[in-house]
A and B are shown apart, each in its own frame.
Chain A
């Protein structure tokens, strides 16, 4: 670089468009990091697992709700037969104590439920938060005041208590849908604040004035001029809130107000396994490891994305 006076794009004129755009630069930067590769692989693994849950469990030969009394010892309080919680060629990750349900099938289906709720809630949070933040930041004035107060209100609300209460009271509804909505409801102000702050600094840039001078209306300015500027921080922030969402889902399920059994979920499995920590530690280890790995992978990915896409924001 120091010896060539021309920018990096000039040695290969054919390659000028590729390699110099903001996204290409970000991709090249991300590709250099090992943590990104590893965490991407883990995230991809769990996503594939979640997406192919029925296929995988049928491959293993067990459905998540199928009892297998032959795998547990009825005389020892339903302790799984065999070492490490009954890991065998038949049950790849062992079985649940007492019922003998296949742990692999349950973990895989649990991943489906956990990730579905976490990712949908994240999508709601990000869309609502970005829309609210960009509107508040760009239009300012009364719009900003109303939206900002709404953010404060939502943030100061005792959200966990509300979630628990809401989930306990609602009886005959789709639990997964309700959970997504309830988790999503309290997440948007975080995104909205990030986006609002970024928009505030962007809307006074001269290129926004230049766009207005060129006759662009507010919608066009928001989508064409402001949105690319907030996209970086939003993507980074999104990846960082996914683990929080997974953890919240697990927490609610752990507390017994999440998805209803027999639908499996990681939090629920961890809650049930606590009773067996002494006799069958593997029952606790397996869903916990999945939860830990997913959360860690998303966090690492989010950190790296933030470093690359939003270099100005400090680490918290």
Chain B
């Protein structure tokens, strides 16, 4: 919805290379490794993406696919992890920036909201104080000015009686109102980038829609770049302009949202879409899950992470299967998408009956 208001060419192919203006956030070859006792866990592996002003990038994937690790890496919140690659905010490299510099950017230029608004709000302070706190951190404003700003922000995110509500504690708000407060807090210092890590997962469906609309409205008004991390394809379809599908810490597919839903290029994306229950299914049709479980990121296979579960690989010739398991597929353009799969669509055509 918000994406339509953006004055960028909708026909432009996806990918950082294609943008004319400089992207607000550009992540190149991001790799996050956690050293553990049993070896290194590579939670994110050579991931690249870019987001422009006013644009929404959806990052989709199941639990453990590296979505949240990516967002935390962008915010520079990993301690004890090795982060390599480049994270550039308006051309400024964030990876390796000293903590003090990062603190100046966090909240001010880039902000983040989390899944559970109740646990993200401090139970000890009133919501007004918490929003004001963010403002004070960055602008050193006086208590009264920061409080005024907090009330303005609460009004902006649609909380009725903002002046009175600012004096209340998080437990006095409903789930949806709390998420509004989180958004107010995140946007109090006018950041350019908002990372929303599953912002609607803890909310019920009607409230989800309200929150997504609120984010879209604020995005339109402020020209925010939004990274929407979710496992809910419905959310992605609603808000994102471009989607990055992650599997096992790697990018499986990146495409504009319409293309992705109409014609998924990667067998994993296809599996995800197929696993959505449909209204026109008969009642007793079984849910179509993707067989198998996500790979261990500890000591990953040399080839495609999805190959053990991949229906295309299962139907392919032994030579092709060996290629899938042994050689890592690169993210390559294919019919308007970026897909990382060795088995192109003509190979896929042979197994069409098996997947659909």
Measured CB to CB, the residues of A under 8 A from B are 7, 9, 13, 16-17, 20-22, 205-207, 209-217, 220, 224-225, 228-229
Contact = CB atoms under 8 A, between A and B. Distances in A.
B67 to A, nearest CB: 16
18 contacts: A9-B168, A20-B169, A206-B119, A206-B120, A207-B122, A210-B114, A210-B185, A211-B122, A213-B111, A213-B112, A213-B186, A214-B133, A214-B134, A214-B137, A215-B104, A215-B189, A225-B122, A229-B124
B195 to A, nearest CB: 9
Contacts of A214: 106-107, 111, 133-134, 137, 185-186
B164 interface: yes
A304 to B, nearest CB: 21
B303 interface: no
Given A21-B169, A212-B77, 14 more contacts: A9-B172, A16-B168, A206-B120, A207-B120, A207-B121, A213-B111, A215-B103, A215-B108, A215-B138, A215-B189, A216-B133, A216-B137, A225-B122, A228-B125
A213 B194 CA distance: 11
Contacts of B123: 207
Interface residues of B, number: 35
A223 to B, nearest CB: 12
B81 interface: no
A216 B108 CA distance: 11
A175 B327 CA distance: 78
A213 B186 CA distance: 9
Contacts of B186: 213-214
A216 B120 contact: no
A13 B168 CA distance: 11
Interface string B56-85: 000000000000000000010100000000
B100 interface: yes
Given A22-B124, A214-B133, A216-B137, A209 B77 contact: yes
B218 interface: no
A206 B106 contact: no
B105 interface: yes
A213 B172 contact: no
Interface string B193-232: 0000000000000000000000000000000000000000
Contacts of A17: 126, 167
Contacts of B189: 215
Contacts of A20: 168-169, 172
A7 B172 contact: yes
B116 interface: yes
A207 B121 CA distance: 5
A228 B121 CA distance: 14
Contact of A217 (B100, B126, B133): B100
B172 A216 contact: no
A290 B231 CA distance: 67
Contacts of B77: 209, 212-213
Contacts of B112: 210, 213
Contacts of A206: 114, 116, 119-120
A27 to B, nearest CB: 15
B120 A212 contact: no
A209 B134 contact: no
Nearest to B102: A215
Contact of A215 (B107, B164, B167, B169): B107
Nearest to A22: B124
Q: In the A-B complex, list the 4 residue pairs whose CB atoms are closest, starting with the nearest.
A: A215-B107, A214-B107, A215-B106, A206-B119
A220 B137 CA distance: 9
Nearest to A218: B99
A205 B119 contact: yes
B103 A210 contact: no
Given A7-B172, A13-B164, A229-B124, A213 B107 contact: yes
| Residue among B100, B121, B124 with max Cβ neighbours from chain A (10 Å) | B124
A156 to B, nearest CB: 29
Contacts of A22: 124
Interface string B109-146: 00110101001111111100000011001100000000
B320 to A, nearest CB: 44
Contacts of A217: 99-100, 103
A213 B164 contact: no
A209 B79 CA distance: 12
B106 A213 contact: yes
Contacts of A216: 103, 107, 133, 137
B302 to A, nearest CB: 33
A229 B124 CA distance: 8
B354 to A, nearest CB: 42
Contacts of B120: 206-207, 209-210
Given A206-B119, A224-B133, A212 B106 contact: yes
A210 to B, nearest CB: 4
A18 to B, nearest CB: 10
Contact of B105 (A207, A209, A215): A215
Contacts of B103: 215-217
Contacts of B104: 215
A159 to B, nearest CB: 35
A207 B127 CA distance: 12
Nearest to B80: A141
Contacts of A209: 77, 114, 120
